[in-house]
Amino acid sequence: APELHVIATSREPLRANSETVRRLGPLATPLEGEPLTAADAIQFPAIQLFVERATAAHQGFELNESNVKVVAEICRRLDGIALAIELAARRTDAFAASELLFLLKDRFQLLTHGRRTDMPRHQTLAAAIDWSYELLPENERVVLRRLSVFVGAFVLESAIAVVSDDKGSKTNIAADVGNLVAKSLVSVETSGHSVQYRLLDSMRAYARQKLEKSGEVATLLRRHAQHHLALFRRAEVEWENRPPEDWLADYGRCIDDVRAALNWAFSDGGDADLGAALTAVSVPFWIHLSLVDDCRRNTDRALDSSWDQACDNGRTVIKLSDTLAGVLFQTQGPATRGLETRCTRQAQASCDACCQIISSEDYLDASVELADRRQTD
């Protein structure tokens, strides 16, 4: 039958001769932060599905101006995944949209009311992901659960650095990541010369539960923070020598992971020394993105934490102090001169000319640039 065509849906490609693959992405949702009316929102497939299923479950449900932003956020939190949206919408028989959004903190307990006529794996969100996870060989399960420490997009280099240990080669891990993409468990985005990967929120939450059960969380969170410290040491060197758009294309994706790494580092089970070093090398990052509040909070937290401030002849504490002094001076005025003076004394006490140069020029100028950007934005 030479004219016969078969349309098949599958978790992964069939790898048959002459097969053409069309990947179905999540349903489109409104972008976060955009002005949104009910009339605008209903144009998005994810919102349409939610409203259709919510109306079927509770005839009094109506998408209106008072709940449209909440419904949009529910669909975004569920990554536009049709099954998850259907399961959430059916709970409008018991909860208001705002209550549903709050309850999504424990999505696997909430999203459990599938139709009795559905296959078992479609009756709850956890069962759907369980089914896919159980089909994986053990090496791919390990990679998937370890990837859950990434909060945002990551590249293959980062995946290998964080996931790998003595038992797995870099080539094997790269192959496992590729297999997880093929099985629709890891999303892939291609932008210019860069290929980036991401776990959707529901998959990340599930994989994180598996990671916690494995007893590897502490090791992986440390490895994740160490990797971003190494990454941003490189970024700091490149900052002055690359076009801003190229620098941002390589490092801008890391914003949520840097925040997560810093939160871990300064937590009770973290590593404040590592956190202080990461805070210092990420200063250009916050400057480049004009995130003055993040810069101030991060440097302030690092300076208030207990860590070995003499570990590098005071370079790190000087960078942090000068950055904070510059930001506060530009935003709050001369009241912060005392912090600059303290920083200079630390440089002099270390008898390190390099530190004095850093103190007087590089990071103060950078932090002034950051504050100036904020005022003009």
Question: So what's the pLDDT on residue 121?
Answer: 58
CA quadruple 359, 362, 363, 365: dihedral sign: positive
Question: So what's the pLDDT on residue 155?
Answer: 95
CA quadruple 167, 170, 175, 180: dihedral sign: positive
Instruction: Classify residue 54 as exposed, middle or buried by CB count within 10 Å of its CB (0-12, 13-18, 19+).
Output: buried
Q: How far apart are CA 330 and CA 309, in angstroms?
A: 26
Percent helix, strand, coil in the chain (nearest 5)? Answer: 65, 5, 35
Question: So what's the pLDDT on residue 318?
Answer: 79
Cα 224 to its chain centre, rounded Å, is 12
Question: So what's the pLDDT on residue 356?
Answer: 45
Question: So what's the pLDDT on residue 357?
Answer: 41
Average pLDDT, 10 consecutive residues per value, the chain (377 residues): 77 77 85 91 96 91 94 92 89 90 81 57 73 91 97 95 81 93 90 86 93 95 97 90 87 94 94 93 86 87 81 76 74 58 53 44 49 48
In the chain, DSSP assigns E strands to: 187-191, 194-198
**111 contacts 125 by C-beta, under 8 angstroms:** yes
Alpha-carbon distances, residue 366 vs 251, 253, 295, 322 (angstroms): 18, 21, 11, 9
230 token code pair: 């190494």
Q: How far apart are CA 287 and CA 176, in angstroms?
A: 36
Q: Which of 125, 43, 126 is nearest to 86 (CA)?
A: 125
Per DSSP, the residues of 307-340 read: --TTTTTTHHHHHHHHHHHHHHHHHH-GGGHHHH
